[in-house]
Amino acid sequence: MMALIVCVGRSIYVKRSELLLVKLTTVLSEAQRQAQTITSNQYETPKVVTHVPGPKSRALAERLGQYQNVDAVHFFVDYEKSEGNFVVDVDGNVLLDMFMQIASLPLGYNPPKLIDAMKDRKNLASFINRPALGSYPAVDFVERLERSLLAVAPPGLKHAQTAGCGTCANENGQKAIYMAYQRRLRGGRQPSEEEKMTSVMNRPPGSPKLSFLSFTNAFHGRCMGALAMSHAKWFHKLDFPVPDWPIATFPRLKYPLNEFKGENEREENRCLAEVRDLIVKYGRRGEPVAGICVEPIQSEGGDNHASPAFFQGLQAICRETGVYLMIDEVQTGCGATGKFWAHEHFSLQQPPDAVTFSKKMLTGGFYFTDALMPREAYRIYNTWIGDPSKLVLLEHVVQEIKQKKLVANAALVGQVLLNGFLELQSLYPGVLQNARGLGLLCAVDISTPAKRDNIIHRLRNKGVNIGGCGLSTLRLRPCLTISTSQAFMFLNILDSVLAEVR
């Protein structure tokens, strides 16, 4: 049962039911209870003083519009004043941020540990000098790598390649898989001179006809290789020439899951059969599938889930057909789902061949198996291929996550949020449906796209910043430090908005 919610003026209070208090006391250790107290020192509740966006935001948007398109700008942020789980806009509005820069802030705004890292003179060189890491790494780069990325590597994966962003992570993961696939076909021999020369001219055999399988409603990035695997929205792709690669159907589960077990199992089996058929089809047409890319939860495409059995079946197909499996954890990694990596929920028989990351990890890149290690210089390369300063910050993020048990906190608060969505769904059946979630990655569908957008607008003007995805989905992407009281605060405000729009 969701907590009884009480509003008094602009202040928001949550009176938890006795049952919920018992559950929280049972679940939380002392360290986890401490994690629940990680809140902003400056802000306790939202404060809306103007319409959002306010006059200063609109004026800045008009100025910026002289130089670039600003249609995607929601409001301008005063990042110096933003703190913890609250974002402050240029007009002085204080919003509880349940979106956190599109899922990319692990500890909220201006966390003290990261401010201290910026002030530490030992880190100064990492922030001032951005080296060409592939050729001139710093003397402490290996140690930094070990204390950050490798300290939280997915089980069974011991190699990590840094990159600039999530798109770069997926593109370089693709390249590593293509190289491994072709090495296997060569049987260990070195590339021939013909292969080298024809590759430069985009012709076979050096530039082979290979393909990468992806799924409907997927989103993996906006550069051309990643974009070829993305199928979420038209404005990502219109006017851009992309290869004709196989696209399998991602399962469309019915909710509540316990009432549609048989139907959902048949749907997932149908989708797996389609994957098999596409691998055969593209092999016959001379464009064999080298890799499959999949998100543990399709985020931009609508927060679409599949069961552990689906991902286990997908890995089994890859093993049978010699296709490499790349799991895109750009949005789902870094503890947000209640495990550090979302694919850990799936009990896979062996590690994925590649796991890509970015956003909350502060830097882009991918983890990979021995088979994907490049054999020649300059194969996974650009001027920077990452940024050592991000590893400095990530090292402190990892420490904070472990010390404050923030992954456990994500699991706990995520359950509170999901329970709240389920309760509100029962109260507003004509507005909300298909409540779902894994840790803090909670979502619920709204009856129409227009109503979803209206709810987002109203929430913003009541002090909550939130995002949408898919056709008409409301998605949550708070940072790992969100507390149960802030979760109830959000649910309380959402309840008031739903009462207005139903």
Nearest to 98 by CA among 446, 473, 441, 501: 441
Residue 444 and residue 435 in contact, taking contact as beta carbons nearer than 8 Å = yes
Report CA dihedral (133, 137, 142, 146) to the nearest 10 degrees: -30
Helix axes 308-321, 261-284, angle to 10 degrees: 20
Which residues, including other chains, have CB under 8 Å from residue 299's CB and lie 6 or more apart?
A: 103, 219, 331, 332, 441, 469, 475
Which residues, including other chains, have CB under 8 Å from residue 190's CB and lie 6 or more apart?
A: none
What residue has token string 């956190």? 100
Q: How far is CA 402 from the centre of its chain?
A: 20
Which residues, including other chains, have CB under 8 Å from residue 324's CB and lie 6 or more apart?
A: 177, 180, 181, 290, 291, 292, 318, 353, 354, 371, 372
The half-sphere exposure of 296 on its side-chain side, counting CA atoms within 13 A, is 27
Catalytic residue IDs: 219, 328, 359, 383
Q: Phi/psi at 171 (nearest 5 deg)?
A: -65, -45
DSSP-derived letter for residue 372 is G
What residue has token string 């049952």? 19
Residue 87 and residue 77 in contact, taking contact as beta carbons nearer than 8 Å = yes
Burial of 292 (0-12, 13-18, 19+ CB in 10 A): buried
Residue 105 and residue 359 in contact, taking contact as beta carbons nearer than 8 Å = no
Show the tokens assigned to 399.
Answer: 């420490």
Residue 303 and residue 247 in contact, taking contact as beta carbons nearer than 8 Å = no
SS (H, E, C) 312-354: HHHHHHHHHHCCEEEEECCCCCCCCCCCCCHHHHHCCCCCCCE
Question: Kind and range of the H or E element at 210?
Answer: none
244-283 CB burial, b ≥16 within 10 A, e <16: ebbbbebbebebeeeeeeeebeebbeebbebbeebbeebe
- Residue type at 438? L
Q: Is 121 helix (H, G, I), strand (E, B) or coil?
A: helix
Strand partners, 298: 304
Residue 479 and residue 311 in contact, taking contact as beta carbons nearer than 8 Å = no
